[in-house]
Structure 1
Amino acid sequence: MTMNSYRINNPTNVTLNLMNPGSVAVALIAYHVKDSSGDQYANGNWSGPSIAPGAAISINIVIDGTAFTFHAGMYYTVEIVTLHRYFTFTIP
């Protein structure tokens, strides 16, 4: 899975544009977000979408804003959890 682009929508919401270049569908089941200070947010009960082989989708990563908030120019690490592996993306 690759991230083609991202957009910070507001302090608690980021949209990631993802693509599945693989040959099997990928089911997204959880995500974790960490800011550059090491503060973390986890959503382990997320019913994310499945991405078909060769398909691109947009997903919203929503945090509660307690540990940190999103701001342009800051760095964040987003880890997307699937049934079989983790994918890590950096938002610069």
Structure 2
Amino acid sequence: MDKFVLFGSYCENAIQKRVPFRDEHLSRLNKLKQEGILITLGPTKCNRYVFGVFEATSIDIVKKLLDEDVYWKEGIWTSLDIYPWTQAF
């Protein structure tokens, strides 16, 4: 299994705009965490950026998971960049 990091950004007023989708989003993330695919994910304190770490067999799997997320579909996330990552420690 390889690790991947996610760097992304949120739309303007994301805290308000995400309200109708938040439960669905968090429920899905919890499922991915239980499956061992999601290591961590969350916003920066300024709520402008999202950061995450995933463990999967390919970057395509991570891209597909993010494409299916309600935050991406509804425009809460406005950009998502995924990179293979080597964990040193």
TM bucket by the smaller chain? 0.3 to 0.5
Question: If the length of structure 2 is used for normalisation, what is the TM-score?
Answer: 0.36
When you count helix as a share of all residues, which structure comes out higher? 2
| Higher RCO structure, 1 or 2 (CA under 8 Å, sep 6+) | 2
Question: If the length of structure 1 is used for normalisation, what is the TM-score?
Answer: 0.35
